[in-house]
Structure 1
Amino acid sequence: MNNTAIQTQTGLSSFYAKIYGFVAMGIGLSTFVSGLMLTVFQNHLVNMITGSPWRLYLIIFAELGLVLFASRAAIKNTPMALPLFLIYSLVNGYTLSFIIARYTQTTVFQALLSATVMFAVMAIIGVTVKKDLSGIGKALMGALIGIIIASVVNVFIGSGAMSYVISIVTVLIFAGLIAWDNQRIKQVYFELDGQVPTGWAVSLALNLYLDFINLFIHLLNILSRND
């Protein structure tokens, strides 16, 4: 391997490290806030669920707006890209605590471990596979839209069986997206000759963060059937 190839590989590795550093920060903040909500601020969590659930829905809607704003800021490479991503991670940790509270500690641990292992495996596949996954990625995004619509419909139907099937399909979709998003990191790096703006790195990190969180949430739903 010549010096140019070594430098390119080193630069690419540094770029992956930078992105995964952002991902780790996001997941770490979400975990920290969720942990506080489930322990120190447990009374607040219970009061929100039993007394003012409408406030939680308002926060969730605000969170959706925040992630769209953060994504747009990242793509435009504005200085607020990283702060918005971290703020979103904090807010998401808050709302995640209301989901996690529904499950046993054993189920949460199993889902977290399963999500971590699955994420790692699919990330390695995305980094090492030679085949271009762009076509598969776009198809998965289309399937994700269909799943979101099905999830909204199931809110009104309230079918446990449909919820279970949706979670299985969603896990498969996000497993594929993890591989695609990891391959995209390499593609972006080479397309921009290694001169990748921080905003792009934040955008890619946000995608991976969302992949992991959604994988974890739907694995919770699948594993909870054994409780």
Structure 2
Amino acid sequence: MESNTPNYVYDNVTQLNDADASRKYLAKVFTWMFIALGVSAFTAFEFFSTPNLLALIISPTGFTALGYVAIFSPLAFSMVINFGFNRISYTGMVAIFIAYAVAIGITLSIFGLIYTGASIFTVFISASVVFGIMAIAGYTTHQDLSQFGSILRVVFFGAFAVMLINFFMHSAQIDYILSFVFVALMIGLTAYYMQMLKRIGAGIEYGTEESKKLVIIGAFVLYTTFINLFMMMLRIFGRRR
């Protein structure tokens, strides 16, 4: 007699209800996000406090070749993580994510030359509070943010293109305006991404290679959103040396 219930065996796979699965997934996502923040903070401090390391990325005449690589390499890491999900192993994803955090840390070390330590700390705390509030809002809201998030992402890519062009034009006015635009975008995207990750977590079968990689993807998304929010707020509110 044929059974209508498939008798599959999932080794090391755990099925949870939606709420528990989302909480478990997001706990792992935030753990990796905090690890990445720690790596970036350590890297930034080491480069800023070590003249020989700082000289590798910036000289009296501007950025060195390695400095430009450090600034633009996060974009390359982002593309690899986003488009290499099916080809890269979990270990490879972790290695790329940590390398990405190091590259961000090298870029952040330059901010230490521009802004005071007190203002960097104050803006970091402020960005953390804003990020936390919007993350909670995105997690708890019952309104579907999918369409809202899609619009924000389109605007983000447009603003990012303008920012890349302005990097070579050096227009202070455009840079200042873009900072406000990006802050607004990151605030909205934080809520959208939290809702998106909550839904992803609810559908994960834990113990699989794919579920582990999805944790890294989630951490990458939230880490990048927070870093962008922090850097843009620093441009607006940071006190220069």
TM-score bracket, shorter-length normalisation: 0.7 to 0.9
CA contact (8 A) 1:27 1:89 kept: yes
Structure 1 segment 158-177 matched on structure 2, within 5 A: 158-177=170-189
Shifted more, 7-16 versus 163-172: the winner is 7-16
**How many residue pairs are counted as aligned between the two chains?**
221
Of 11, 14, 22, which aligns to 2:21?
A: 11
Please say if 1:62 is aligned against 2:73: yes
Instruction: Name 1:36's counterpart in structure 2.
Output: 46
Distance 1:153 1:72, change over 3 A: closer
Inter-partner Cα distance in structure 2 for 1:90 and 1:14: 27
Inter-partner Cα distance in structure 2 for 1:47 and 1:60: 13
Please say if 1:53 is aligned against 2:64: yes
Name segments (4+ residues, structure 1) moved above 6 Å: 193-196
Inter-partner Cα distance in structure 2 for 1:45 and 1:72: 32
Distance 1:204 1:76, change over 3 A: farther
Question: 1:74 Cα deviation (Å)?
Answer: 4.0
What TM-score, normalized to structure 2? Answer: 0.82
Shifted more, 106-115 versus 151-160: the winner is 151-160
Percent of aligned pairs with the same amino acid: 27
| RMSD of aligned Cα (Å) | 2.3
Structure 1: gaps spanning 5 or more residues: 1-5
CA contact (8 A) 2:94 2:216 kept: yes
Instruction: Name 2:199's counterpart in structure 1.
Output: 187
Structure 2: gaps spanning 5 or more residues: 1-15
CA contact (8 A) 2:183 2:232 kept: yes
Please say if 1:27 is aligned against 2:27: no
Counterpart residue type for residue 31 of structure 2 = G
Shifted more, 155-164 versus 180-189: the winner is 155-164
Inter-partner Cα distance in structure 2 for 1:63 and 1:10: 33
Counterpart residue type for residue 50 of structure 1 = S
Instruction: Name 1:3's counterpart in structure 2.
Output: none
Please say if 1:130 is aligned against 2:142: yes
Distance 1:17 1:119, change over 3 A: same
CA contact (8 A) 2:186 2:225 kept: yes
Counterpart residue type for residue 207 of structure 1 = V
Q: Which has the higher contact order (CA 8 A, sep 6+)?
A: 2
1:143-169 alpha-carbon deviations (Å, 9 max, x no partner): 101211221332344222221111011
Structure 1 segment 97-176 matched on structure 2, within 5 A: 97-176=109-188
More helix by share: 1
CA contact (8 A) 1:85 1:202 kept: yes
Counterpart residue type for residue 46 of structure 2 = L
